[in-house]
Every structure is written in structure tokens, then in C-alpha cells.
Amino acid sequence: MATAQKKTAPATKAAAKKAPAKKAAARKTTARKKAGNKLAELPEDHTPSQAAAHGILEERRDLQPSVDHIMNAELSEDGRMHAIGLFKDSLTTPGDPNRTPAKAVEAAREATED
């Protein structure tokens, strides 16, 4: 007895082939996303520490949480300016402990104690 080979119809072979993968559509940046990335304007009656913080954020938006930590700390304006200065200087000094906002705030508290 001869073994019958199964024949596949040409249409079935074509269907078995995978369709070429579609290219992923480029993501469009939404207006909301663009607006969210915009840095807020510096108020006209800004303090020196606000100006310094704004300057840092103009260059490095990724530091927003760290700058917010310093700016929201319970410090006098002099203390806040001292802390933001320590933090800014630490950005160019590898291993500087004041790169951690909490340490910059603590150092400013110690330096401005009366």
C-alpha cells in the first residue's frame, strides 16, 4: 500500500505566510505634553532664591523634584538661598554630599542658625 502524501493547495500556502509587519506609527507629541514641559515664568517680584532655582531648572528640568524640596523647606530666604547655592555647586562636583537636597537644606540650617 502506498502512502498518500497530503497536498496543500496554493491558496493555503499563501495564507500560511505571515503578512509583513507594519511599521510602528511615529508617536505624536500632544499639545498637553508640550505644555507640561514648559518651565513656568519667573514672577516679576521674585526672590533671589527663586531666581537661582529658576536658573537651575532652565538648564536641568530633571532636577525639578530636588529644587522643589529645597524651595519648600522651612528656611528663611537667606537659608533657602544658601541651600540652593550649595545644591547648584554640587552639580559640578562629583561626590558632593549637597547633591542630596535634604543634605543641602540641613547644611543651610546649620549655617544660618542664629
Summarised one tens digit per residue, pLDDT across range 36-61 is 567 778 878 899 999 999 999 999 99
Report residue 34 as a C-alpha cell. Answer: 508640550
2: in domain = no
pLDDT at 18 exceeding the cut of 90? no
In tens, the pLDDT along 72-81 reads 999 999 999 9
Is residue 37 included in any domain, yes or no? Answer: no
Structural domain contains residue 65: yes
Residue 11 lies in a domain: no
Q: What is the pLDDT of residue 30?
A: 46
Enumerate helices (H) and strands (E) in the chain, giving the number of each.
6, 0
Whether 89 is in a domain gets the answer: yes
Give residue 45's pLDDT. Answer: 87
- Largest Cα–Cα distance of the chain, in whole Å? 107
Instruction: Read off the DSSP letter of residue 38.
Output: S
Residue 4 falls inside a structural domain:
no
- Tell me how many domains the chain contains: 1
State how far the Cα of 11 lies from the Cα of 8, in Å rounded to an integer: 8
Would 97 be classed as within a structural domain? yes
Print the domain residue range for 75: 46-114
DSSP string computed for 59-105: H-GGGHHHHHHHHTSS--HHHHHHHHHHHHHHTTSTT-GGGSHHHHH
Nearest CA to 71 out of 60, 61, 82 is that of: 82
